[in-house]
Amino acid sequence: DQQVKQNSPSLSVQEGRISILNCDYTNSMFDYFLWYKKYPAEGPTFLISISSIKDKNEDGRFTVFLNKSAKHLSLHIVPSQPGDSAVYFCAAMINFGNEKLTFGTGTRL
According to CB under 8 A, which one of 21, 32, 75, 80 is a site residue for other proteins?
32
Q: Looking only at residues 38 through 67 of this chain, which bind other proteins when binding is defined by CB under 8 A?
A: 41-46, 49, 51
State the burial class of residue 97 (Cβ atoms within 10 Å of its Cβ: 0-12, 13-18, 19+): exposed
Q: Which residues of 53-88 are buried (b: 16+ CB within 10 A; e: fewer)?
A: eeeebeeeebbbbbeeeebebbbbbeebeeebebbb
Residue 96 binds other proteins (CB under 8 A): yes
- Span from 14-22, 29-37, 58-66, 69-77 in contact with other proteins (CB under 8 A): 29-37
Question: In this chain, which of 23, 34, 66, 77 binds other proteins, going by CB under 8 A?
Answer: 34
The interface region with other proteins, picked from 14-22, 65-73, 77-85, 91-99 by CB under 8 A, is 91-99
